[in-house]
Structure 1
Amino acid sequence: MTNLTLSDLGWSARFRAEAGDDTAAPARIASVARDRLEALTPSGAVSLTLPGGQSTGDYAVGDWVLFDPATGRVTRLLERQTAIRRKAAGREAKRQLIAANVDTLGIVTSCNADFNIARLERYLALAEASNCLPLVILTKADESETPDDYRRKAERLSPLVSALALNARDASELERLSPWCGTGQTLALVGSSGVGKTTLSNGLTGRGDATRDIREDDAKGRHTTTSRALHRTLAGGWLIDTPGMRELQLTDAAEGIDSVFSDISELAAQCRFSDCRHETEPGCAVQADIAEGRLDSDRLARWRKLQREDARNSESIAEARARDKGFGKMVRSVKALKRLDRRD
């Protein structure tokens, strides 16, 4: 990979302004390992280390950093234009960075039993909370008799959604994605295993990663992508492929949820009581629309579920951070007292 400019890598006027007169060199993170960062520069690929006390877990594929070419050590992380995060899988109250500086979040599903409205709404809320443009990519259109029906269902979920139904194995159809992964643009792919992300990635980048068949009984597949990485697309932009997500828990996504469910949010503002729970309260505009058939009660239930989940996860992560800060303060106090004791 040669003859790339910073602009080719996604460098923008905003990053240039933030870097200012800093003499350190810019690089874009292509992959994150346990003890180092692999990055891309106009001069080629570099392997970077971090200052003491920093963890590679604080960095994401797509990040821009400044580094010292003489030592290969990162000196500064530039502010992210967009950041895709979720609650880390499992019971631990932590956020997990998925990708950074992504222009478009490609939400991949397929025109078969994998198509799931609730899951799509969840991914759309993630895109909105991350400040990414949401794009629903419906694969296996060639295997469905009604691919446009799936596309229309996806587009009805939110006025912010664009959706495409295509055959990921057809190079001419993949060209329809060029506007989202052309020069300077970054497209990230998310979705369940077996929906065709690896096939899409191969077609968009010219790579040849192996794919695995889906299970016939439930249209689900197995993981073929095992880590996140930044790859050049044939259209001149960048692609971040991600492993299939078995669990996507939202956190700090309240605004994203409201955007995806803007129809309910707008109705809720018309309720007689500001604290209306949209159950049996008089003057509830939400329940009035349900009664008149303009709003699906299942959609209201999904909205409530995401709101509860986001509030719970956001609160638990904030509490965990407060505990960590409190513990760190206590440790520092004990160390300070021990130093005083030694002096005495």
Structure 2
Amino acid sequence: MTDSAETGRLRQLGWSDVFAEQLAPDESDLHILRVSSVHRSRIDVIDVDGAADVVLAPNTNTADFAVGDWVLASPFTRDFVRRLDRKTVLQRRTEGSHGQQLAAANVDTLFIVTSCNADFNPARLERYLIMANQAGTRPVIVLTKADTVEDAETYETQARALQRDLPVVVLNARSPDALSKIAPWCGPGETVALVGSSGVGKSTLVNTLAGSGAEAQQKTGEIRQHDAKGRHTTTARSLHSIAGGGWVIDTPGIRTLYVSDVTDGIDTLFAEIIELAPLCRFRDCTHQHEPGCAVQAAIAGGTLDAARLERWRGLLAENREKTPVSSGPKGNKIFRKKKY
């Protein structure tokens, strides 16, 4: 196994006992690397000394790798050996696809970035929260462009209401104090990722985190004033070091985020409804018209917003519709939509 000094340096890259426990005795001499970017025909990796090399086998599908992955390679030939199991994985299903598209792996905190303007959309933020919940990653809402409006507190209040105990940070991504506001999640060895629409300031925030001396500053772009939409300035996911010792993964703007195979993520988002359901008189209560419904009683009592219940129903329905299930004999899997 790696010695204590090297283990300490690995921990600065985000290494933890979760990964160390996966190493077999005969893998003690293998080179430990972290994926810093994924391309069509190769992956870029880093080790404790900086940029490193790994050689993939011919015809390797790089879509199976995510930025943030830990991989093992031969210390002599640099040949790829295997990928370690992930602690967390951010992924999404695209329209018409049966598989999940990997966004990032082994992320400790997901910064869901939106701005205090027309981009602020609670329904879309809920979808990002579901993604984070399902992945097992801590979500934090980051409201940017706070300096451009007089009522940033209104946006903050709406954001906090989206999920129980949800941290919300309001900032100007270009301001020097932006770092101090998100510092609690960006300590040494911590890995954060940023998601959000184009033009909300993700790349600007990455540049602020990385510092002015970073080698690969992310490009930033202007937004259209009438609808707050921006151009995609980040075209690939990449891992960057943070001045405070952590790591940040920037991602391209996501135009459409489908809800699919994320039941646990939805349950976490709407925890107040899930906790009330067992108190209903009927086990199969639909929370619509049944007598003795604890959910409807909470709405009548003013402790639950009726709009929350409707959004919960809608997201559950979409999740059922868009989550494929496999059937058919072994070796001949057929994906079809769930039936309820």
**TM-score with structure 1 length normalisation?**
0.88
Report Cα offsets for 1:198-232 as digits up to 9, x if no partner. Answer: 11011111243321111111112121111100000
Residue 196 (structure 1) aligned with residue 207 (structure 2): no
Deviation at 1:52, TM superposition (A): 5.2
Residue 213 (structure 1) aligned with residue 236 (structure 2): no
Larger Rg: 1
CA contact (8 A) 1:128 1:256 kept: yes
**For residues 26-45 of structure 1, what are the structure 2 equivalents within 5 Å?**
26-45=32-51
Corresponding position of 2:157: 152
Identity of aligned residues (%): 48
Q: Which AA in structure 2 matches 1:309?
A: E
Report Cα offsets for 1:277-299 as digits up to 9, x if no partner. Answer: 12222222222322343322221
Q: Which AA in structure 1 matches 2:238?
A: A
Residue 241 (structure 1) aligned with residue 253 (structure 2): no
Stretches of 4+ aligned residues off by more than 4 angstroms: none
Out of 293, 296, 302, the residue aligned to residue 311 of structure 2 is 302
Q: 1:142, 1:246 → 2: CA distance? A: 25
Corresponding position of 1:319: 326
**TM-score with structure 2 length normalisation?**
0.89
CA root-mean-square deviation? 2.1
Aligned length: 322
Q: Which AA in structure 2 matches 1:319?
A: S
Q: Which AA in structure 2 matches 1:240?
A: I
Report Cα offsets for 1:235-282 as digits up to 9, x if no partner. Answer: 111000000001111333211111110111122222221111122222
In structure 2, stretches of 5+ residues that fail to align are: 1-5, 335-340
3-state DSSP class of the match of 1:19? coil
Corresponding position of 1:125: 130
**For residues 54-73 of structure 1, what are the structure 2 equivalents within 5 Å?**
54-73=60-79
Q: Which AA in structure 1 matches 2:71?
A: V
Q: 1:51, 1:312 → 2: CA distance? A: 37
After superposing the two structures, state which structure 1 stretch, 305-314 or 156-165, moved more. 305-314
Q: 1:162, 1:58 → 2: CA distance? A: 32
CA contact (8 A) 2:112 2:142 kept: yes
Out of 293, 298, 304, the residue aligned to residue 284 of structure 1 is 293
Q: Which AA in structure 2 matches 1:173?
A: A
Corresponding position of 1:335: none
Q: 2:329, 2:269 → 1: CA distance? A: 33
Deviation at 1:327, TM superposition (A): 6.3
CA contact (8 A) 2:34 2:70 kept: yes
CA contact (8 A) 2:95 2:258 kept: no
Q: 1:286, 1:67 → 2: CA distance? A: 53
Report Cα offsets for 1:160-209 as digits up to 9, x if no partner. Answer: 31010001010222222122122100010001111110110111112433
Q: 2:333, 2:100 → 1: CA distance? A: 19
Out of 75, 84, 93, the residue aligned to residue 78 of structure 1 is 84
In structure 1, stretches of 5+ residues that fail to align are: 329-344
Q: 2:181, 2:306 → 1: CA distance? A: 36
Q: 1:323, 1:33 → 2: CA distance? A: 35
| Distance change (3 Å), C-alpha of 1:325 and 1:240 | farther
| Distance change (3 Å), C-alpha of 1:323 and 1:38 | farther
Q: Which AA in structure 1 matches 2:332?
A: G
3-state DSSP class of the match of 2:9? coil
Q: 1:75, 1:64 → 2: CA distance? A: 11
Out of 261, 270, 273, the residue aligned to residue 264 of structure 1 is 273
CA contact (8 A) 1:114 1:195 kept: yes
Deviation at 1:30, TM superposition (A): 0.3
Out of 226, 236, 260, the residue aligned to residue 235 of structure 2 is 226
Q: 1:215, 1:54 → 2: CA distance? A: 40
CA contact (8 A) 2:142 2:168 kept: yes
After superposing the two structures, state which structure 1 stretch, 25-34 or 201-210, moved more. 201-210
